[in-house]
């Protein structure tokens, strides 16, 4: 297994060397020079956003043509038929290179919805969409969350009513990442209001150009609009676009959620890497004459202990991958720590900067930190709230019992 992994890593490296450059060290910098952006979320103007999506598609196509587009997928739909460990190892190797950010395609669509379509869709739907998705042609979004159903996903209220060979969908979805770029969406709907709430839901694949689908950008506290609201008004979907059984949508949703991949090596890229870099943070203390403040130094040390220990956690996951072993709880811990470390870094820097983070003096590398500061509350919510993550760690890793189901939770909320 280990040898097989080494060979695969060599092959991946050969492919990447032929197509892209090695990544620059994003943490190396000189104080006062270059871009001082600290944005976690992008708030690009529409034209730039469009270009970004086009670059993602182009890189996915090159990956696909070289056998790295769908490493775990079956050959009949253009996949490579390898293990999830190969997939993670490829991501780790690729993170050493300067490639286009394909998150718009991969985080939701290829990572979560593709495997769900593969598991639950009818053959001609698989033929129609899977190759298109993994070639970079079709982007997919997840029409799960609603204003009344966030962490408690089984409370979805969007209705789907059967009319002959079709279903008619009505309702509102929210916090829908990449919906503005998507060709298809995976919708979770309520088809049986009388059944216990987990048993009355059905999943559908919704082409986003179907009449009645309206995507509206949702402006966030950062000022940008990464998410959307999606309104479904009399949206007519053929029955062959149903995934899984009627009223069996919960099983389909679980497939999607279980494919929420842990990503190795994707952390620490982008401008926020600087927020966790010892060089950058110490340069900031020098620039603000807080260098010898004992209290701030102690806090910097504590922050760096967590940052560097988290790096060691990732390094050990990588050793395991190279040996062909799937990483264990360290990946969930790593995700938890990443959000916490960025949050603590943002607040540490706020204390170093003082008033310079409440109003812009024009000085390089100071007020720019507001971009990270304003993103930190979202880091504790997105991709599963911190509370849900801790429940998962406690229940799946430590084997603690689940919260008992209360009478209220058993009730159906149509």
Which residues are known catalytic residues? 260
**Total chain residues near another protein (CB under 8 A):** 38
Question: Residue 381, interface with another protein (CB under 8 A)?
Answer: no
Q: Which of 172, 186, 158 is nearest to 244 (CA)?
A: 186
CA dist 374 and 38 (Å) reads 10
CA dist 157 and 136 (Å) reads 32
CA dist 147 and 156 (Å) reads 9
Instruction: List the beta bridge partners of residue 142.
Output: 186
Query: Which residue stretch of 21-29, 40-48, 313-321, 363-371 sits at the interface with another protein (rule: CB under 8 A)?
Result: 313-321
Q: What is the DSSP letter of 384?
A: S
Question: Residue 391, interface with another protein (CB under 8 A)?
Answer: yes
Rounded to 10 degrees, the C-alpha dihedral 130/136/139/142 comes to 60
CA dist 155 and 188 (Å) reads 10
Question: Residue 1, interface with another protein (CB under 8 A)?
Answer: no
Nearest-approach distance from CB 28 to another protein, in angstroms = 14
Q: Among residues 182, 310, 343, 376, which is the contact residue for another protein, using CB under 8 A?
A: 310
Q: Write phi, then psi, for 97 (nearest 5 degrees).
A: -115, 160
Nearer to another protein, 121 or 337 (CB): 337
First to last CA, the chain: 50
Query: Which residue stretch of 118-126, 216-224, 228-236, 385-393 sits at the interface with another protein (rule: CB under 8 A)?
Result: 385-393
Nearest-approach distance from CB 302 to another protein, in angstroms = 7
CA dist 329 and 244 (Å) reads 30
CA dist 154 and 403 (Å) reads 16
Query: Which residue stretch of 17-25, 196-204, 295-303, 358-366 sits at the interface with another protein (rule: CB under 8 A)?
Result: 295-303
- The percent of the chain in helix, strand and coil, each rounded to the nearest 5, is 50, 15, 35
Q: Which of residues 314-353 bind another protein (CB under 8 A)?
A: 315-316, 323, 329-330, 333, 336-337
Q: Among residues 123, 404, 406, 411, which is the contact residue for another protein, using CB under 8 A?
A: 404
Question: Residue 18, interface with another protein (CB under 8 A)?
Answer: no
Q: Among residues 297, 322, 347, 413, which is the contact residue for another protein, using CB under 8 A?
A: 297
CA diameter of the chain: 75
Nearer to another protein, 17 or 387 (CB): 387
Nearest-approach distance from CB 201 to another protein, in angstroms = 25
Structural contact between residues 216 and 265, judged by C-beta atoms closer than 8 angstroms: no
Question: Residue 28, interface with another protein (CB under 8 A)?
Answer: no
Structural contact between residues 307 and 267, judged by C-beta atoms closer than 8 angstroms: no
Strands (E), 132-200: 140-143, 159-163, 166-173, 184-190
Query: Which residue stretch of 18-26, 165-173, 258-266, 303-311 sits at the interface with another protein (rule: CB under 8 A)?
Result: 303-311
Q: Which of residues 275-294 bind another protein (CB under 8 A)?
A: 278, 282
Query: Which residue stretch of 115-123, 154-162, 365-373, 387-395 sits at the interface with another protein (rule: CB under 8 A)?
Result: 387-395
Q: Write phi, then psi, for 36 (nearest 5 degrees).
A: -105, 20
Nearest-approach distance from CB 328 to another protein, in angstroms = 9
- Helix (H/G/I), strand (E/B), else coil: 32: coil
CA dist 37 and 336 (Å) reads 24
Query: Which residue stretch of 99-107, 159-167, 180-188, 392-400 sits at the interface with another protein (rule: CB under 8 A)?
Result: 392-400
Question: Residue 211, interface with another protein (CB under 8 A)?
Answer: no
Question: Residue 302, interface with another protein (CB under 8 A)?
Answer: yes
Q: Among residues 276, 304, 372, 379, which is the contact residue for another protein, using CB under 8 A?
A: 304
Nearer to another protein, 307 or 353 (CB): 307
Binding mask 237-276 for another protein (x = CB under 8 A): ----------------------------------------
Structural contact between residues 137 and 394, judged by C-beta atoms closer than 8 angstroms: no
In three-state form (DSSP H/G/I as H, E/B as E, the rest C), the secondary structure along 214-248 is: EEEEECCCCCCCCEEEEEEEEEEEEHHHEECCCCE
Nearest-approach distance from CB 336 to another protein, in angstroms = 6
Question: Residue 308, interface with another protein (CB under 8 A)?
Answer: yes
Question: Residue 306, interface with another protein (CB under 8 A)?
Answer: yes
Nearer to another protein, 262 or 389 (CB): 389
Binding site for another protein (CB under 8 A): 278, 282, 297-298, 300-302, 304-306, 308-310, 312-313, 315-316, 323, 329-330, 333, 336-337, 387, 389-391, 393-395, 397-404
């Amino acid at each position: 297994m280990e040898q097989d992994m080494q060979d695969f890593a060599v092959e991946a490296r050969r492919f990447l060397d032929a197509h892209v450059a090695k990544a620059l060290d994003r943490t190396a910098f000189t104080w006062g020079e270059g871009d001082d952006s600290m944005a976690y979320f992008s708030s690009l103007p529409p034209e730039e956003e469009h270009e970004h999506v086009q670059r993602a598609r182009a890189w996915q196509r090159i990956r696909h043509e070289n056998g790295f587009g769908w490493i775990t997928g079956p050959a009949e739909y253009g996949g490579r038929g390898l293990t999830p460990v190969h997939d993670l190892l490829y991501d780790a190797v690729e993170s050493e290179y300067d490639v286009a950010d394909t998150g718009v395609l991969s985080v939701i669509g290829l990572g979560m919805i593709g495997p769900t379509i593969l598991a639950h869709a009818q053959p001609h739907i698989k033929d129609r969409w899977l190759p298109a998705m993994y070639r970079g042609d079709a982007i997919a979004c997840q029409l799960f969350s609603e204003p009344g159903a966030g962490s408690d996903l089984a409370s979805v209220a969007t209705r789907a009513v059967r009319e002959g060979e079709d279903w008619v969908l009505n309702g509102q979805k929210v916090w829908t990442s990449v919906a503005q770029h998507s060709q298809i969406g995976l919708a979770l709907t309520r088809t049986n209001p009388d059944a216990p709430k987990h048993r009355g839901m059905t999943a559908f694949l919704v082409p986003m150009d179907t009449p009645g689908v309206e995507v509206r950008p949702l402006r966030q506290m950062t000022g940008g609009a990464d998410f959307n609201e999606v309104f479904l008004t009399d949206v007519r979907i053929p029955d062959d676009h149903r995934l899984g059984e009627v009223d069996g949508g919960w099983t389909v949703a679980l497939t999607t959620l279980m494919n929420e991949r842990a990503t190795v090596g994707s952390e620490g890229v982008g401008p926020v890497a600087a927020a966790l870099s010892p060089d950058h943070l110490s340069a900031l203390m020098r620039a603000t004459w807080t260098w010898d403040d004992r209290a701030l130094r102690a806090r910097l040390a504590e922050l760096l202990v967590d940052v560097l220990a988290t790096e060691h956690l990732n390094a050990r996951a990588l050793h395991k991958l190279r040996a062909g072993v799937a990483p264990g709880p360290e990946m969930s811990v790593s995700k938890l720590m990443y959000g916490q470390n960025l949050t603590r870094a943002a607040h540490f820097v706020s204390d170093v900067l003082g008033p310079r983070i409440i109003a812009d003096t024009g000085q390089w590398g100071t007020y720019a930190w507001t971009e990270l500061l304003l993103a930190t509350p979202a880091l504790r919510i997105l991709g599963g709230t911190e509370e849900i993550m801790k429940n998962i760690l406690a229940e799946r890793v430590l084997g603690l019992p689940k919260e008992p189901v209360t009478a209220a939770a058993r009730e159906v909320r149509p």
